[in-house]
Chains A and B, each alone.
Chain A
Amino acid sequence: MLKYILRRFAMVIPVLVAVTMLCTAMLSLLPGDAAAVALGVNATPELLAEKRHEFGLDRPFPVRYAKWAGNAVRGDFGTSWKYDGVQVIDLVKQSFPVSVTLAILCVLLSLLIAIPLGVYSAYRVGGRLDRAINTFAFGTLSVPGFVAGLAVLLLFSALFKRVGDDGTVSNIFLRDYVPFFDNPIRCLQSLFAPAVAVSISQSAGFLRIIRTDMATTLQDDFVLMAKSKGMSDRYILARHAFRPSSFTLMTVVGVAVGQLLGNLLIIEGIFTLNGLGGKVFQAINDRDYPVTLGVVCIITVVFVLTTTVIDVLYGVVDPRVRFARKLA
């Protein structure tokens, strides 16, 4: 079992290397001169050349990559090219928890909505409520993320606007972000609106998956057998039917967390959150290689790690997979 886990985690490395190599390659293809960006329009050719040397731009690509990778493994992602002397790590340190907390919150909220509704729909497949839920889910699934974001933003600012005695306008759901461990409630408040925006379509996706899988499972013989032994519907749903139906959902959730980190860019922009997405967008625009690489690297690591964790979890949840491993 342990070997299996280790083997799966070992797979992370080649993927990581490939991804970062790809990004480095693409970054070097970017038009525009990073040195020029850093120094501004008025730099002299000598200063530009010096800067280029400092950035290592005059070395061939494999050398550059090896140098970066060697440092990265030790945790040193270098310094930003735009903001002189600022470590990439420092720039990223603040944004990372924002995005991660938001991603987790989005997924949790979506699951909270999707699982009960999905299970119920499968239970009463074809019924009026099921059809209504399904149609509604299908609709919300098609809502583009940024449209939902805008809608939620407007809605929340209209609904929850409060004007204080001294004329200041405040809104309980549109506050600034506060790290979770500092003040959980405020943190959740600040992230609630964007989480809602994302979960509008995300929960619909989860719901359909659970509904399909569970509806299929409920047709299995062992469900009828359990019923014929006198087990109650609720027992069957919770203790018999849910587990085998949750596999696809598990995979999707794992993928969602990883993907969200990158895709939250737009939502972060709409709700003015200082997240990883915004950082990297800015960095690309600024031709700030180290920051871009650093952020992409982190996001990819998280993504690959989560999918690997899910894979391993598969083995835990589904005994058949576990035993197949043992035999294999």
Chain B
Amino acid sequence: MTAVAEQREQSAAAVTSEPVPSVAAPLLVRKPWGLAFWVAVGWLVSVVVSTIVANLVDWKKEVDFLGTVDVTEGRWSKTISATHPFGLNFGGNDILVDLVRGAKNSLVIAAATVILGFLVGGTLGMVAGYFRGRVDTILSFFANVLLSVPPLLFILLMIAVLSSRGGTGEAQALSSSVGKVSLALGILSIPQIFRVVRASTIQFSQREFVMAARAMGAKVPRILWGDILPNVAKPMLAYGLVSAGAVMVIEGGLSFLGVGVGSGTDTTAWGKQISAASQRADLERAPMVAFIPGLALFLTVLAFNYIGDKARERLENKQAAL
């Protein structure tokens, strides 16, 4: 009989789906994430680590900034050496060093933007999605207005507004800092996040467990915090990662235009490095100088997108399964 009992247990466990015990459970299921996923994670981790390390180490002493061969004389490949594994750029700087320095700003901006966007956009989205009615109409209208403005133009305007004041008759060149760019991008991302969170909240508010909480007399903040937020947060995680990637692209574009981070000589960003290289007439002789930072940007965005996508797949699968 025990054999039969065992059989029963086996069949019961395998066929019927296990109830999901906690919010994070889908992410912890044993199914392997895949090699590509871990490679992406590895790349991001190494980028982050390298910026942290670079901050701590004062490399000006360690690394020989100016190489021995000037790129303009020969091809880029000639500038590669043991101390300069990626060679030198047109200004004579080590490309790898520049990459690491540029990474920091891009990552910080991406993180700050996403955080700002979620804090403001997410909260407003939950409020609008839960209460509906007049609040929702007003908030949605503003969101739509903001979304109707071409993003790049809006950012330019914002950065112009935030640009350093002072000076007299001259038209000020647009300059900015990490803070300004993050603020501008953050404000721009608010309506998009607002929309997504709102839709998700509406969906969840109609589920029974929210009605049950209300029937039990739970107060609104508690419902929002305890019931809706955990459920809405799951798909938001994936969305946040993908957003981070998108923000990096826009930020790259901004610094490419010269509007991004770094009017000072000490700050740099990948976009700026790309634009500096691409504006030279002899770019054709050493295109890699522009493409290495471009590749770095591409890989990082790709990593964000991939991880976000995989996470979303995971979470969606479990929800849609049965």
> What is the interface of chain A, defined by CB distance below 8 A to chain B?
14-15, 18-19, 22-23, 26-27, 29-33, 36-37, 39-41, 43, 138-139, 141-147, 150-151, 154, 157-158, 258-259, 261-263, 265-266, 269-270, 277, 280-281, 284-287, 292, 296, 299-300, 303-304
The answer to whether A144 and B151 touch across the interface, beta carbons within 8 angstroms, is no
Q: Could you say which of A30, A147, A150, A269 has the most chain B C-beta atoms within 10 Å of its C-beta?
A: A147
Within 8 Å of chain A (Cβ to Cβ): is B287? yes
Nearest residue (CB) in A for B153 is: A262
User: Smallest CB–CB gap between A216 and chain B, Å?
Assistant: 10
User: Smallest CB–CB gap between B228 and chain A, Å?
Assistant: 26
User: Smallest CB–CB gap between A152 and chain B, Å?
Assistant: 12
The answer to whether B145 and A22 touch across the interface, beta carbons within 8 angstroms, is yes
Residue from B172, B257, B283 in contact with A281 in the complex, judged by beta carbons closer than 8 Å: B257
Q: A41-B169, A146-B275, A303-B150 are in contact. List 8 more A-B contacts (CB 8 A).
A: A142-B245, A144-B248, A144-B249, A146-B252, A151-B294, A262-B152, A263-B152, A266-B257
Within 8 Å of chain A (Cβ to Cβ): is B182? no
User: Smallest CB–CB gap between A322 and chain B, Å?
Assistant: 24
The answer to whether B160 and A284 touch across the interface, beta carbons within 8 angstroms, is yes
Residue from A39, A269, A304 in contact with B148 in the complex, judged by beta carbons closer than 8 Å: A304
Chain A residues in 8 Å Cβ range of B149: 19, 22-23, 262, 296, 300
User: Smallest CB–CB gap between A115 and chain B, Å?
Assistant: 22
Chain B interface mostly: helix
Q: Can you list 17 pairs linking A and B with CB atoms under 8 Å apart?
A: A18-B145, A27-B157, A31-B164, A31-B166, A36-B169, A142-B298, A143-B298, A146-B256, A150-B294, A157-B284, A258-B150, A261-B150, A262-B150, A262-B153, A284-B160, A287-B171, A300-B149
Within 8 Å of chain A (Cβ to Cβ): is B123? no
- Cα A14 to Cα B165 in complex, Å, equals 33
The answer to whether B163 and A31 touch across the interface, beta carbons within 8 angstroms, is yes
The answer to whether A285 and B157 touch across the interface, beta carbons within 8 angstroms, is no
The answer to whether A147 and B294 touch across the interface, beta carbons within 8 angstroms, is yes
Residue from A15, A41, A144, A299 in contact with B153 in the complex, judged by beta carbons closer than 8 Å: A299
User: What interface size band does chain B fall in?
Assistant: 35 or more
User: Smallest CB–CB gap between A55 and chain B, Å?
Assistant: 15
- Cα A43 to Cα B160 in complex, Å, equals 24
The answer to whether B302 and A139 touch across the interface, beta carbons within 8 angstroms, is yes
State which residues 134-160 of B face A: CB under 8 Å: 141-142, 144-145, 148-153, 156-158, 160
Within 8 Å of chain A (Cβ to Cβ): is B205? no
Chain B residues in 8 Å Cβ range of A263: 150-152
Residue from B145, B249, B257 in contact with A15 in the complex, judged by beta carbons closer than 8 Å: B145
The answer to whether B284 and A154 touch across the interface, beta carbons within 8 angstroms, is yes
- Cα A300 to Cα B153 in complex, Å, equals 11
Chain B residues in 8 Å Cβ range of A14: 141
Residue from A33, A158, A300 in contact with B284 in the complex, judged by beta carbons closer than 8 Å: A158
> Given the interface contacts A144-B294, A154-B284, does A266 sit within 8 Å of B151 by beta carbon?
no
Within 8 Å of chain A (Cβ to Cβ): is B168? yes
Chain A residues in 8 Å Cβ range of B278: 150, 270
The answer to whether A138 and B169 touch across the interface, beta carbons within 8 angstroms, is no
Within 8 Å of chain A (Cβ to Cβ): is B109? no
User: Smallest CB–CB gap between B315 and chain A, Å?
Assistant: 16
- The 6 A-B residue pairs with the shortest CB-CB distance in the complex, in nearest-first order: A262-B150, A31-B165, A36-B169, A142-B302, A147-B294, A41-B169
The answer to whether A259 and B171 touch across the interface, beta carbons within 8 angstroms, is no
> Given the interface contacts A262-B153, A285-B174, A296-B153, does A144 sit within 8 Å of B298 by beta carbon?
yes
- Cα A22 to Cα B271 in complex, Å, equals 29
User: Smallest CB–CB gap between A306 and chain B, Å?
Assistant: 11
Chain B residues in 8 Å Cβ range of A18: 141-142, 145
> Given the interface contacts A41-B170, A266-B256, does A299 sit within 8 Å of B161 by beta carbon?
no
Chain A residues in 8 Å Cβ range of B67: none
The answer to whether B145 and A284 touch across the interface, beta carbons within 8 angstroms, is no
Within 8 Å of chain A (Cβ to Cβ): is B185? no
Chain A residues in 8 Å Cβ range of B306: 138
Residue from A138, A269, A304 in contact with B257 in the complex, judged by beta carbons closer than 8 Å: A269
User: Smallest CB–CB gap between B287 and chain A, Å?
Assistant: 6
Q: Could you say which of B141, B153, B161, B163 has the most chain A C-beta atoms within 10 Å of its C-beta?
A: B153
Within 8 Å of chain A (Cβ to Cβ): is B238? no
The answer to whether A259 and B150 touch across the interface, beta carbons within 8 angstroms, is yes
